[in-house]
């Protein structure tokens, strides 16, 4: 694993510390920026996006020195999860918030799906968040911290052509509710369930995009900042645990 921290040399953070997985770009970067703007010191986890992660860290540290750091880990490899947890705890000597945002997403039609796809989607969306929660539960408990899992409205209604992804996100939703009980009262555990927020990295036709927008009540695509603000709300909602907040423009209520 790269970019581990030496606890003897790391300085103390000013204020609370958040670890955001998959935070180098897109929604993860927006969450990191929102938390940083609100005074958090942020640990930016990445797998392959080293350039983006380091650029984000440099940007944050120019705004506020010693307020951002990046950590590399491949969450598909179980042996890297404890190492990531140790590095996250050691860098500033504390952790208050874990945001499980990292996620693989691609279609897996039933008759064409493979065991490798199953492993990749289940590992990134469910297994890694579970064991990262386990590794960090003690330090989060000491700091009366919280965990926020990025789920998906398709955890409730499976996305056609994406059964493995939908299964993984459904597991993450149940994990959120189960760990809220397991870790109470010292650690709150909640989830944010996005709908049509940003377009996927795979190109969509204009008609496909319009069909998605038409199935929202608000009638437009959401922004990554909408998710980031929801994460910040839950991070500070001291009497909220075991809840899944849908940020979907009303798509989950769409009935026709």
Q: Map out the domains of the chain as residue ranges.
A: 17-248
| Bigger pLDDT: 201 vs 223 | 223
- 3-class DSSP string for the chain: CCCCCCCCCCCCCCCCEEEECCCCCHHHHHHHHHHHHCCCEEEEEECCCHHHHHHHHHHHHHHCCCCEEEEECCCCCCCHHHHHHHHHHHHHCCCCEEEECCCCCCCCCHHHCCHHHHHHHHHHHHHHHHHHHHHHHHHHHHCCCEEEEECCHHHCCCCCCCHHHHHHHHHHHHHHHHHHHHHCCCCEEEEEEECCECCCCCCCCHHHHHHHHHCCCCCCCECHHHHHHHHHHHHHCCCCCCCEEEECCCHHHCCC
- Residues 27-36 have a mean pLDDT of 98
Read off the pLDDT of residues 37-52 as tens digits, 9 standing for 90 and up: 999 999 999 999 999 9
Q: Which two tokens stand for residue 192?
A: 């944010």
C-alpha to C-alpha distances, 221 to 105, 194, 200, nearest whole angstrom: 19, 11, 12
Contact 94, 13 (CB under 8 A): yes
Q: Name the nearest CA neighbour of 98 among 31, 37, 154.
A: 31
Catalytic-residue membership of 232: no
Per cent of the chain over pLDDT 70 is 90
Determine the Cα–Cα distance for residues 113 and 187; give it in Å rounded to an integer. Answer: 37
Determine the Cα–Cα distance for residues 104 and 54; give it in Å rounded to an integer. Answer: 21
pLDDT of residue 1: 42
pLDDT of residue 2: 46
pLDDT of residue 151: 97
Q: Name the nearest CA neighbour of 154 among 174, 170, 132, 138.
A: 170
Read off the pLDDT of residues 144-163 as tens digits, 9 standing for 90 and up: 999 999 999 889 988 899 99
pLDDT of residue 250: 83
Range with the poorest average pLDDT among 28-32, 145-149, 150-154, 232-236: 150-154
CA 86, 149, 42, 96 dihedral sign is: negative
- Residues 136-142 have a mean pLDDT of 97
| 17-248 maps to CATH 3.40.50.1820 | no
Read off the pLDDT of residues 83-105 as tens digits, 9 standing for 90 and up: 999 999 999 999 999 999 999 99
Which of the residues 40, 46, 130, 165 is marked catalytic? 165
């Amino acid at each position: 694993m790269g970019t581990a921290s030496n606890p003897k040399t790391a300085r103390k953070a000013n204020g609370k510390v958040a670890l955001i997985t998959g935070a180098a770009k897109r929604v993860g970067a927006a969450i990191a920026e929102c938390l940083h703007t609100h005074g958090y010191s942020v640990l930016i986890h990445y797998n392959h996006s080293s350039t983006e992660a380091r650029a984000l860290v440099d940007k944050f540290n120019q705004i506020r020195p010693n307020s951002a750091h990046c950590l590399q880990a491949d969450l598909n490899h179980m042996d890297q999860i404890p190492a990531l947890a140790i590095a996250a705890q050691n860098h500033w000597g504390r952790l208050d918030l874990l945001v499980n945002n990292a996620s693989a997403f691609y279609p897996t039609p039933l008759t064409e799906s493979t065991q490798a796809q199953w492993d990749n989607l289940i590992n990134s969306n469910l297994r890694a968040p579970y064991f990262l929660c386990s590794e960090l539960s003690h330090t989060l408990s000491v700091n009366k911290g919280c965990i926020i899992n990025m789920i998906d409205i398709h955890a409730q209604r499976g996305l056609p052509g994406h059964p493995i992804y939908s299964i993984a996100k459904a597991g993450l939703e149940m994990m959120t509710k189960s760990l809220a009980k397991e870790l109470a009262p010292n650690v709150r555990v909640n989830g944010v369930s996005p709908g049509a927020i940003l377009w996927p990295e795979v190109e969509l036709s204009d008609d496909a995009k319009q069909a998605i927008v038409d199935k929202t009540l608000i009638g437009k695509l959401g922004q990554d900042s909408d998710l980031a603000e929801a994460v910040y709300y839950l991070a500070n909602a001291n009497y909220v645990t075991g809840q899944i907040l849908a940020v979907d423009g009303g798509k989950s209520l769409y009935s026709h």
